[in-house]
A = this chain, B = another copy of it.
Amino acid sequence: MSYWDTIVIGERVEIGSHRFEAADIKRFAAKYDPQPFHLDEDAARHSVLGGLCASGWHTTAVWMRLNVDSQTARIRAFVAAGNPVPKAGPSPGLKNLRWLKPVYAGDTVTFSQHVTAKRKSASRPGWGVIEFSCEGVNQSGETVFSFDAAAFYGTD
């Protein structure tokens, strides 16, 4: 059995939750997104966002970490069951990234993904593309972030 065959269109997986702490929000922002509403509580309170909140790129980076950890655990379990090690490749990109609500300091976001399509590559024999939709939902049930992405996997 190949790992490719275990991925089913329509499956929905929760990949984990993360609480965004003020110190982490500021640390990420100081390096990659030094805007006042990501750096300082007082400045944030007087900004259009109304409070200290994570850079949108911090939210996507945390999603990526949970995604890698979740995938790694799934692949390890697959291999531990006596199956061959799957090939996985880089992502060609993503579409429709939306930051729908601010992620405030202290918010906990739960991330999930939903497989929407899979197809074998015509140009790269032995490889295929999985398409999936991702979203992050905060502790109040509000969707804060979503996007549609794709990833390459070996099909053999």
A65, CB-defined interface residue at 8 Å: yes
Residue numbers in B under 8 Å from A69 (CB-CB): 34
A57-100: contact bitstring with B at CB < 8 Å (1 yes, 0 no)?
10011101100110000000000000000010111111111110
- Given A57-B60, A57-B61, A97-B97 in contact, is the A90-B48 Cβ separation under 8 Å? yes
A109-123: contact bitstring with B at CB < 8 Å (1 yes, 0 no)?
000000000000000
B68:A64 contact, CB within 8 angstroms? no
CA A55 to CA B68, docked complex, whole Å? 12
A35, CB-defined interface residue at 8 Å: yes
Report the minimal beta-carbon distance from A131 to chain B, rounded to whole angstroms.
Answer: 14
Residue numbers in B under 8 Å from A62 (CB-CB): 32
Report the minimal beta-carbon distance from A29 to chain B, rounded to whole angstroms.
Answer: 9
A20-54: contact bitstring with B at CB < 8 Å (1 yes, 0 no)?
00000000000111110100000000001100000
Residue numbers in B under 8 Å from A128 (CB-CB): none
Main SS class of interface, A: mixed
Residue numbers in B under 8 Å from A56 (CB-CB): 90-91, 93
B98:A34 contact, CB within 8 angstroms? no
A102, CB-defined interface residue at 8 Å: yes
Report the minimal beta-carbon distance from A19 to chain B, rounded to whole angstroms.
Answer: 16
Residues of A within 8 A of B (CB): 31-35, 37, 48-49, 55-57, 60-62, 64-65, 68-69, 87, 89-99, 102
> Would you list the 5 A-B pairs with minimal beta carbon distance, nearest first?
A93-B98, A32-B61, A32-B65, A48-B89, A93-B97
